[in-house]
Amino acid sequence: MKLLITGAAGRLGSKLVELLRSQGHSVTGADIVGEGVTRIDITNFASTRALVADLKPDIVLHPAAWTDVDGCAREPEKAIQINGLGAQNVALAAAAVGAPILHVSSNEVFDGQRAQPYREYDLTNPINPYAYSKWYGERAVQSVNPQHYIVRTAWLFAHGGKNFIQAILNAAAAGKPLRVVSDEVANPTYNDDLAEAITRLISTGRFGVYHLINEGACSRYDFARYILSKSGFAETPVQKITSTEWPRPSLPPAYSSLSNLAARQIGITLRPWQEAVDAFLAKEGRLV
């Protein structure tokens, strides 16, 4: 199969390139930055359409996005341009050559006002600019390319990038005081597990909306405590705070845990988040 993967210089995009090439597929990794990738600016429709028309891929995977949530709050129009209109450009270009698209979205499209996990077709209601831009992207993809997979995920952590696990470990190692919110709940998800699940999903031809997350949910505080307990910092004190005590430009949904109902029906599940964290720490040489 011939694939085009946007955001190939990013953590998820690069892992998808690696996995799919190892499975024998012909893969073009594209991004606006990075080494060894084809150049693409998803905000430029003409050039995006030209690249896709030239490659004629069998499917386009679109993890490219602006994921700086607080940055999106400061520059909401830029967020729409990249995460909304950029997704529309890629979806239109794919549709023009008859190619399906897989678009990666976020748990933040929900408002966090319920107390049980969100299913794939529960009503969305974004409450911050990043969330709105991702919701816009979902709607754009769905409206212009009927052959689509929408994959929502949450609290992604990956090797080699900035993420919550590394921030907690770095602070603990430096002896810095830790203050972590306890009223924000979602699903910690391992980048490598998500990439593997996506490769399985695109082989099914079952278009639709999917929640691909490591099983189970926790608060940021409980997530931090688990990380510390498994990496030799179990005695590190952590102050439990509320989100109002951690002011930031973007307001995240309080409860945005996702339920994997649709993918489970076709045999695609991810292991519990605790096992995924253990695997991440082991690969980083931090599991004790």
Strands 156-157 and 178-181: unpaired
CA angle 169, 225, 281 (to 5 degrees): 45
**Known active-site residue 226:** no
Catalytic one of 118, 130, 136, 149: 130
Tokens at residue 8, please?
Answer: 């190939």
What residues have CB less than 8 Å from 125, skipping those under 6 apart? 109, 110, 111, 113
Rg (CA), the chain: 19
Instruction: Find where tokens 């974004």 sit.
Output: 126
DSSP 118: B
Helical ranges in 44-128 per DSSP H: 45-55, 69-74, 76-79, 86-96
CB 236 within 8 A of CB 229: no
What residues have CB less than 8 Å from 18, skipping those under 6 apart? none
What residues have CB less than 8 Å from 85, skipping those under 6 apart? 43, 136, 140
Cβ count within 10 A of residue 155:
25
How far is 168 from 189, CA to CA, in rounded Å?
16
Q: Which residues are catalytic?
A: 130
